[in-house]
């Protein structure tokens, strides 16, 4: 009887611990994001028309993978969407690519398109990875992690799933992405509705991501930022393309509708504040590129302070 009481006490304490364990702060409505991606992929021709941005960034991610002098057997593309990285994948990079996305519609949009490498498709939520620990050689991700609520947790899961000396290469929207649209909508809402609401997602910056990679346990981390500017006839075409990309706002606290007069005011403010001389408007996309390695016995370690045998000052003076 004594042991029974103790056992019940332990179970109760464990249940209480899990019940009170802190949960990741919820910023995005993941179900809404899935529906947005589903709807975008269902309109096949329109969604292919707006692949230009995602294809360009995916090509840059693929280039970073190609720079690694290693033959990868299988690579996981996390948040693959309709297949942007696979368009640039070659047999010099990998033998097989596993495309993973929360939207089955996105995964299957281009199922009949032939690719140079073997392709496998899996419906996977980026916040809950199904891969076993120490099972993957490489993980890539392009424009998916910026919609994840628990970003540190996702990076930890990616690191755990990699084999020792495995690599993660990612790209995500961050920094001042769409700052022109953000400021225009805010000014229009203040003018027309006497307040503002979150119309553009909150963005991480490069220093945040550098710390998160280190916190997740990656080593030899590299973080760099690139900007891509795209010109549109007006703010309406920009927002239409974002919707067709599946990149509409999915912040939990967003307002469901944007009033017509507020939208017209925002378009006018956008053109007045940020417009180009030719009448078009620019949209800035700030891309944060991430590279991190899972530690292993063969991971190079940094030299100790003071061990250098040459002065950087002397080298610069020689030049």
Answer for the pair 231, 276: CB distance below 8 angstroms, yes or no: yes
Answer for the pair 309, 246: CB distance below 8 angstroms, yes or no: no
Q: What pLDDT does 17 receive?
A: 37
Tens digits of per-residue pLDDT, 238-296?
Answer: 999 999 999 988 888 777 777 899 899 999 999 999 999 999 999 999 999 999 999 98
Lowest mean pLDDT, pick from 16-20, 120-124, 288-292: 16-20
| Beta-bridge mates of residue 226 | 287
Neighbours of 207 (CB within 10 A): 9
User: Confidence class of residue 27 from pLDDT cuts 50, 70 and 90?
Assistant: confident
Percent of the chain with pLDDT over 70: 88
Q: What pLDDT does 249 receive?
A: 85
Q: What pLDDT does 300 receive?
A: 67
Lowest mean pLDDT, pick from 1-15, 62-76, 124-138, 266-280: 1-15
Mean pLDDT for all residues in the chain: 87
> Would the pLDDT of 23 be above 70?
no
Q: What pLDDT does 315 receive?
A: 65
Phi, psi of 192, rounded to the nearest 5 degrees? -95, -25
Tens digits of per-residue pLDDT, 200-219?
Answer: 778 889 999 999 999 999 99
Q: Output 312 or 11, whichever has higher pLDDT.
A: 312
Tens digits of per-residue pLDDT, 159-201?
Answer: 999 999 999 999 999 989 999 999 999 999 888 887 767 767 7
Q: What pLDDT does 9 receive?
A: 32
Q: What pLDDT does 13 receive?
A: 35
> Would the pLDDT of 154 be above 60?
yes
Query: What are the residue boundaries of the structural domains of the chain, listed by start?
Result: 30-296
SS3 assignment, position 9? helix
- Structure tokens, 41: 């992929």
Tell me the CATH number for domain 30-296: 3.40.50.150
**Distance in Å from the first CA to the final CA of the chain:** 83
Q: Name every residue whose Cβ is closer than 8 Å to that of residue 139 and which is 6 or more positions away in sequence.
A: 75, 76, 78, 158, 161, 162, 166, 167, 168, 169
Answer for the pair 259, 192: CB distance below 8 angstroms, yes or no: yes
Helix 260-274 × helix 179-193 angle, to 10°: 130
């Amino acid at each position: 009887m004594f042991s029974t009481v103790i056992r019940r006490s332990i179970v109760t304490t464990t249940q209480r611990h899990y019940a009170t364990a802190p949960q990741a702060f919820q910023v995005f409505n993941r179900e809404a994001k899935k529906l947005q991606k589903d709807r975008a992929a269902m309109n096949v021709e329109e969604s292919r028309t707006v692949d230009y941005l995602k294809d360009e960034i995916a090509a840059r991610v693929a280039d970073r993978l190609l720079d690694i002098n290693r033959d990868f057997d299988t690579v996981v593309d996390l948040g693959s969407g309709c297949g942007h990285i696979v368009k640039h994948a070659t047999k010099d990079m990998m033998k097989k690519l596993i495309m993973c996305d929360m939207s089955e519609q996105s995964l299957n949009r281009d199922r009949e398109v032939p690719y140079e490498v073997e392709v496998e498709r899996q419906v996977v939520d980026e916040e809950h990875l199904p891969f076993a620990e120490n099972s993957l050689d490489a993980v890539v991700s392009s424009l998916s992690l910026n919609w994840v609520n628990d970003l540190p947790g996702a990076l930890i899961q990616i690191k755990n799933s990699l084999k020792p000396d495995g690599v993660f290469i990612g790209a995500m929207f961050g920094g001042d992405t769409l700052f022109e649209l953000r400021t225009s909508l805010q000014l229009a809402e203040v003018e027309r509705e006497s307040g503002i609401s979150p119309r553009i997602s909150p963005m991480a910056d490069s220093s945040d991501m550098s710390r998160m990679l280190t916190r997740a346990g990656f080593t030899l981390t590299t973080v760099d930022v690139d900007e891509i500017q795209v010109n549109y006839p007006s703010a309406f075409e920009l927002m239409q393309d974002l919707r067709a990309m599946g990149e509409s706002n999915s912040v939990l606290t967003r307002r469901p509708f944007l009033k017509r007069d507020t939208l017209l005011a925002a378009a006018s403010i956008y053109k007045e504040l940020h417009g180009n001389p030719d009448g078009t408007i620019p949209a800035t996309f700030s891309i944060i590129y991430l590279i991190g390695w899972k530690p292993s016995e063969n991971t190079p370690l940094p030299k100790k302070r003071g061990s250098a045998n040459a002065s950087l000052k002397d080298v610069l003076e020689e030049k």
